[in-house]
Amino acid sequence: AQSVTQPDIHITVSEGASLELRCNYSYGATPYLFWYVQSPGQGLQLLLKYFSGDTLVQGIKGFEAEFKRSQSSFNLRKPSVHWSDAAEYFCAVVGYSSASKIIFGSGTRLSIRP
Amino acid sequence: DADVTQTPRNRITKTGKRIMLECSQTKGHDRMYWYRQDPGLGLRLIYYSFDVKDINKGEISDGYSVSRQAQAKFSLSLESAIPNQTALYFCATSDGQGGGYNEQFFGPGTRLTVL
């Protein structure tokens, strides 16, 4: 069965520091992977997605993610975080029969230290 | 105006009551979804619909039902609410073109509390 694991429940980084949020997936074929962000009191917004091609994917708000098949990972990175990046981040993979049924990880809450 | 709207935004109800959550979208998408979000569990799919005549159960459909009244409207009902249905509920839409691996657009959520 397909699954997504986000091992870090809560991360705190200082403003201006670099960020990496971890995501591991389990899927029998080439996955379709997503990162979503949920700001407090808001719905989810797509940051970036990987379908195929270049394994380094650029997204909105200065985020990027790298697909590593050998490690079954799709980690999210940002070189310098801003206070406005404080939010919850969800990694997701398209499910077994696909057709847009996305399976979400449990989320990582990001706090920013002034 | 928001592309995906949900009503109500907040609701407190009592055990055993019937409640309906509504979702409307102006994106023209044919696919609509209902999720619930619980702390530490991420989002779990309740039901999804690929067009007006198509309704499918998701991961956690027990205790829920849905109605796709039109392409733009997808309602979620709790026939007899129970406290463990207290959660944040999200509606989402996506375009069915291009093989279906398309971004889902989310509404702002409905916070439901069952006492």
Cβ-Cβ contacts under 8 Å, B45 against chain A:
101-102
Mutation target for A interface from B48, B101, B105: give the one with most A CBs within 10 A. B101
Give the distance from residue B15's alpha carbon to the nearest chain A alpha carbon, in angstroms: 25
Distance in Å from the first CA to the final CA of chain A = 41
pLDDT in tens, chain B (115 residues): 579 999 999 999 999 999 999 999 999 999 999 999 998 888 999 999 989 999 999 989 999 999 999 999 999 999 999 999 999 999 999 887 655 567 889 999 999 999 9
Query: What span, in angstroms and rounded, lies between the C-alpha atoms of B111 and A15?
Result: 31
pLDDT for A7-51, tens place per residue? 999 999 999 999 999 999 987 777 889 999 999 888 899 999 998
DSSP lists the bridge partners of residue A110 as A11, A87
Please judge whether A94 and B101 are an interchain contact, meaning their C-beta atoms are less than 8 angstroms apart: yes
Angstrom CA distances, B8 to A15, B13, B47, B98, stand at 36, 12, 19, 33
For B14, the 3-state DSSP assignment is: coil
Report, in angstroms and rounded to the nearest whole number, the Rg of chain A calculated over CA atoms: 13
Cβ-Cβ contacts under 8 Å, A48 against chain B:
none
Any CB–CB contact under 8 A between A75 and chain B? no
Residue of B42, B96, B101 with shortest CB distance to A105:
B42
DSSP letters of B40-93?
A: TTEEEEEEEEEETTEEEE-TT-TT-EEEEEETTEEEEEESS--GGG-EEEEEEE
pLDDT for A32-42, tens place per residue? 899 999 998 88
